[in-house]
Amino acid sequence: MLSLPSTSSYISRKKYDVFLSFRGEDTRKNFTDHLYAALKRSGIVTFRDDPKLEAGEEIAPELFKAIQQSWCSVIVFSQTYAFSSWCLEELAEILQQHNNDDHKVFPIFYDVDPSDLRKQKGKVEEAFARHEERYKEESEKIQRWRNALIHVAAIKGWHLNDRHESEFIRDIVKKISAKLCQTYPVTHSDLVGISERLEDLYLKINIGEDDVRVIGICRMGGIGKTTLARVAYTQMSPHFEGKSFVADIREVSDKCGLVSLQKQLLSQIFHGECFNFFDVHEGSDIISHRLSHKKVLVVLDNVDNIQHLKCLVGRHDWFGLGSRIVVTTRDEHLLRCCQVNDVYMPTTLNPKDALQLFSLKAFHSDTVQKDDFIELSKHVVNYAGGLPLALEVFGSFLCGRDATQWRSAIERLKRDSNKEILDKLRISLDGLEEREKNIFLDIACFFNGENKDFVIKVLNGCEFFPDIGIDVLVKKSLLNIDEHNKYLKMHDLLQEMGRTIVKEKCIDEPGKRCRLWEERDVHHVLTKNTATEMIEGIIIDNKRESNKMLNLSVNTFLKMKKLRLLKVLCLSNCDDLKYLSNELRLLDWTGYPLRYLPSSFQPDNLVALFLPYSHIQQLWKGNRWVSKPDQDTRLHNSIKS
């Protein structure tokens, strides 16, 4: 949803992150060995030559290749570095790569004065006297070594001075880690403009500092907050002792509670360890105790409640020095209340990047392929206002259509030009068949985040042909399936668009809408008795309206003749029930309070029956003949009590 970096900004990942250049007899078994181990612990891929290679006079070809395949060289200048023809040959090659291939160079002055190296005095002067004696006929080589030493010694580097080596090495590794984070390539082919965003974000994250930082990423839905956080997480994670990406916190919290989020965070950081606690306060105590001395990277995605932050990342001192916590949310006020260190506000894409992203979706190319579509594409891109999600949806919708259809779509956009982004996205539904629209609306209202196979079974029962319908929605960027191909995921903005479409069928009276999910609307319909046969699906969840007692009457569902989907999650009371629609495909009632289902109910169309924690004794009072014996078995097997 962000986009592919331009060729000039794209850095191919090298085989090695770091090439270590050093004089073996000076530092191999002490400083350089400790530095190599520290780099390796931080996940930095480092080349260190085999000591057996030093037996020869000439530098081994594999060392030249290793330099060329490394992103940077770290040169440990020690007292006798310049005495080694091997080291000087390495240095000359490093300088050549630095000049020709943007190879980074980081000098370390280990008890050496860089001015002695540049002016070639003292031991350096003595070393070159020996080289000139040995290589009398190779004056050009000697001069090349001298030039390399002068140039590299002039580069700003790190000085040991009187510092402890362990502290010195720790600082070196931190700074290399911070620089490396910004060089790893983005591998997703549809990420446009992400390089600049990452650069701005890393300035705020400031990974090289030895403090604890909480950084927010805040903007409206559809702008790419989660995508940006995911890429940054992937790039930075090798430089931390533990990591956790807690996705879609708002939805997971509503479904599973805060304790499940705490367990997820801990389990991702402490691989394989099982955490058995059932209280939020206990979970907070465990997080603060176990992570207080551990350098971790935590991303909390889609936070919408301050309790999420209090329970998961309470205070800075819950985490070890160097830790970074990144929070994505639409609510800037929430971040400010939690006193985050900084907030990054990603902007919409600039016109050039917006056109590139749109072209990727509409033409499967970085640029508009046909002259007829250039101006039309600019109209659409301008209308989308640089919002990545809108560009993706519009591009997918228009892909493969002719210019006449494009003009028709753009004319519609012009008529609705005063409406907000939800209306901008709605045009993507125009190309859908009626069944595909119904699938989209059912998922938006009831099944976002649910198991794909389960949803397909229910929608198959509705005769919506979901196998092909869901594939159409995915290809039109209206729906996603998670990386394990298990769960359906719809972007918040698209879900909001679908729900808005349903509400607009009758703004003033929710009982005349086809789908009901909001507690306020459901409470109105059931208490005011305004239900109609228009209602096809309803979720009854009275937990947030607990101050308003909701009691179902015997005829609550009598007018809902077309009801296909019924989920009851929380209900105050139900004395009796005389009617359920024979059109039901899904009946999911937690804590069903009666001993039987209504005797008039004919479950011929029912696909799934869930009655967890219910008072039911048998499905029907008395003997019943069921038209589909295999279905009757499925119903009994689906009861959870």
The model's pLDDT over 105-126, given as tens digits with 9 standing for 90+, comes to 999 999 899 999 999 999 999 9
pLDDT digit string, tens, across residues 564-622: 999 998 776 777 888 999 999 999 998 888 888 998 899 999 999 999 988 888 887 65
- For residue 9, being part of any structural domain is answered with no
Q: How confident is the model at residue 623 (pLDDT cuts 50, 70, 90)?
A: low
Interior angle at CA 515, CA 498 and CA 595, nearest 5: 140
Q: How confident is the model at residue 538 (pLDDT cuts 50, 70, 90)?
A: very high
| Pairing verdict, β 515-516 and 537-541 | parallel
Average pLDDT over residues 391-415: 83
Is the same domain home to 500 and 537? Answer: no
Average pLDDT over residues 419-424: 58
Mean pLDDT score of the chain, rounded to an integer? 85
pLDDT value at residue 137: 85
| Intra-chain end-to-end CA distance of the chain, in Å | 44
pLDDT value at residue 628: 47
- For residue 88, being part of any structural domain is answered with yes
- For residue 6, being part of any structural domain is answered with no
Q: Give the 3-state secondary structure of 375-390.
A: HHHHHHHHHHCCCHHH
Q: What is the largest CA-CA distance in the chain?
A: 111
Q: What's the number of domains the chain is made of?
A: 5
pLDDT value at residue 343: 92
- For residue 3, being part of any structural domain is answered with no
Average pLDDT over residues 240-248: 92
Q: Which residue has the higher pLDDT, 309 or 367?
A: 309
pLDDT digit string, tens, across residues 96-106: 999 987 899 99
- For residue 51, being part of any structural domain is answered with yes
Is the same domain home to 20 and 167? Answer: yes
Which long-range contacts does 256-265 make (Cβ < 8 Å, 24+ apart)? Answer: 258/283, 258/307, 258/308, 258/311, 258/312, 259/283, 261/308, 261/311, 261/312, 262/286, 262/287, 262/311, 262/312, 265/298, 265/312
- For residue 235, being part of any structural domain is answered with yes
Is the same domain home to 30 and 147? Answer: yes
The CATH number that applies at residue 477 is 1.10.10
Q: How confident is the model at residue 22 (pLDDT cuts 50, 70, 90)?
A: very high
Is the same domain home to 40 and 153? Answer: yes
Q: How many C-beta neighbours within 10 Å does residue 169 have?
A: 22
| Helices assigned H by DSSP within 270-343 | 280-291, 306-313, 332-337
- For residue 55, being part of any structural domain is answered with yes
Structure tokens at 45: 């891929």
The residue range of the domain holding 37 is: 16-177
Average pLDDT over residues 199-221: 86
Is the same domain home to 172 and 37? Answer: yes
Predicted TM-score (pTM) of this structure: 0.55
Which of 505, 525, 550 is the last residue in one of the domains? 505
The CATH number that applies at residue 335 is 3.40.50.300
Is the same domain home to 42 and 162? Answer: yes
How far apart, in Å, are the Cα atoms of 180 and each of 171, 176, 208, 236, 609?
14, 6, 11, 9, 54
pLDDT value at residue 3: 35
Active site residue 90: yes
Question: DSSP code of 242?
Answer: E
Is the same domain home to 76 and 133? Answer: yes
- For residue 11, being part of any structural domain is answered with no
What backbone torsions phi and psi does residue 255 show, to the nearest 5 degrees? -85, -40
Q: What percent of the chain has pLDDT over 70?
A: 87
Catalytic residue among 90, 392, 436, 536, which?
A: 90
pLDDT value at residue 21: 94
